[in-house]
Amino acid sequence: MTRFRDLLLENPDTVYYKRKTYSYRSPANKCAFLVYKDEKSGKNTIFGYSYEKDFYCDDPEVLKDIDELSKQPSIKLDTNKNSDNQLSYWGQRAISNLKNGNSGGGHLDIENLLKGIGRYGIYADPLLKGRIFEVDDAKDIVDDSDLKIESTIPSGKAIIVTFWDYNKNKVLPYKEQYEKVIEFNGYNPEECLYEIGSGIISYNELYDKEEPKKETPPPESKPSDVDKADVVFKVGDKVRLKGFKDVVGDVTHIDGDYVTVNITSSKYSLGPFRQGRDIKQLASGMELVQPDVGTKSSDSFKVGDKIKIVGMDIKADVTAIKGNNVSIKVTDSNLLSLPVGSEFDYPNWGLQKIEEQPSLEQVIHNKNKEFVEKSGKLHSAGAVGKNDKPPTPEEKAALEKEVDGLDIEIKILRDLLASGEKYYTDNIKDVVATSVQRKLHALEKEKKNRYSLIAQAEKQYGMPIAQIRQKYRGIPLDKLVKKESLYKKLLKALRG
């Protein structure tokens, strides 16, 4: 059963970070790498391709073999799939695919290349697979999906290293090798983020080290004439710490020139300014958060609306409108102090309406109707009226692709519905679209291979494919083509 989390992180080919999805086919994929047992040296070796650099391997002999293969004359496809020429052909093709691409490439090409130089077993499995992504680190985006992890990589980018494993104990043994790949690409491993399974973590979290950076408050100063300016607050006021626009809280106590504030909203996950902490500061270091003048709760909200508290991971339903305040009942919360079911009043300016998303059931229903309509049109494409023009081959191919895409999308959406997802959110829409395109590409490749086999069979047997299937019923087409090819080779050898 497909879960949305598993689809989103279907494999390290897809990275989701700060509201954006990055595919391995995009330039965000800077490098693909793997650790394997080398057939010639017998050692665990790391090999990868960097789009902006070149091939990397901790065994220089492997790089020499690749250089020799790339300089050989172009090798033609050999129908004997287990021959050395066949492996060399795919190795050369892998070099071409990687060099002519706009990203760090795919693991299949890397494996085919290693097979082509006799370094990787035909049926071998890699010990470790991973990628390096360079993604946008939008500092101004703070929402439910924001992981609140800031990279020290400059120029507004975050470097995310992904692995094809859900158990970091299977990843860490190769730390020294994959960190060399990270450095080869120009990055500092300590400044990167890491994804093993679901969830993005920092370098220190990966290696269970204490985070070295802590948010520290500005040094307290003694009251002065400036500090004793005419600043007046009362308990319950919503205030902001001057110089820290993202730190907002409620006044809980007043002691002379000092106020105690409970922080209700903060972008910091560590240190004294994190959400839920109480801080005591000079009143002159605080400023009142003013609600929008002239705005009434009834102008923005109504009973039954679904809302979220700004700056907090809390969702709720509106149960009543009371002037500038709104009565709400919590439906989703990650705070122990405000569990699901809690009811309280909140200022309208601190709330944000959640736009209703269409239900998955309704979307699946609509997609089914579209599928039936287009599928019927596709299968009746040959039956046209007197005044109708038959579709061109290009139009028919495009319609067939639409029908295939709808079929794939409906299956994915049904799995998501069965796993508990209820709404067709923007995230689901984007990620499903990426998955559909990937599966369509694989389906197109499968069709081309099948058409190629049909053409080979018709040529070798000298009869249409329908007759071949009738004559050799129950035998897979690829077996027929392979047997005929070997049979012809035997006849040629006997005839001399």
pLDDT digits (tens, 9 = 90+) for 18-70: 777 788 888 888 899 999 999 999 999 999 998 877 899 999 999 999 988 88
Tens of pLDDT, residue by residue over 414-432, are 888 888 888 887 778 888 8
CB 376 within 8 A of CB 399: no
Domain borders along the chain are: 4-206, 238-288, 301-353
Counting every residue written for the chain, the total comes to 496
* Helices vs. strands in the chain: H and E counts, helices first: 12, 19
Closest CA to 95 of 85, 86, 103, 105: 105
pLDDT of residue 107: 86
Beta bridge pairs of residue 56? 48
How far apart CA 34 and CA 281 sit, in angstroms, is 53
C-alpha to C-alpha distances, 78 to 85, 99, 181, 350, nearest whole angstrom: 6, 23, 34, 68
Residues 6+ apart with CB under 8 A from 2: 412, 415, 416, 419
Please give the torsion angle defined by the CA atoms of residues 147, 151, 155 and 161, in that order, rounded to the nearest 10 degrees. Answer: -90
Strand ranges in 192-324 using DSSP code E only, listed in sequence order: 193-196, 200-202, 238-241, 248-255, 258-265, 278-282, 286-288, 306-309, 314-322
Count Cβ atoms below 10 Å from residue 268 Cβ, excluding itself: 17
C-alpha to C-alpha distances, 447 to 78, 90, 133, 167, 452, nearest whole angstrom: 20, 19, 31, 36, 8
Residue 18: left if φ>0, alpha if ψ -120 to 50, beta else—which one?
left
pLDDT of residue 225: 38
Assigned token pair, 26: 């995009």
Q: Domain 301-353: which topology?
A: SH3 type barrels. (2.30.30)
pTM for the structure as a whole = 0.41
β-strand 157-163 against 193-196: which pairing, if any? parallel
CB 213 within 8 A of CB 230: no
Low-confidence ranges of the chain (pLDDT < 50): 1-11, 140-152, 213-230, 292-295, 383, 484
The amino acid at residue 398 is A
CB 132 within 8 A of CB 181: yes
β-strand 314-322 against 258-265: which pairing, if any? unpaired
**Gyration radius from the chain CA atoms:** 31
Assigned token pair, 412: 């994915």
Count Cβ atoms below 10 Å from residue 263 Cβ, excluding itself: 21
pLDDT of residue 490: 64
How far apart CA 10 and CA 197 sit, in angstroms, is 9
How far apart CA 447 and CA 455 sit, in angstroms, is 12
Beta bridge pairs of residue 329? 317, 343
Closest CA to 7 of 322, 408, 358, 369: 408
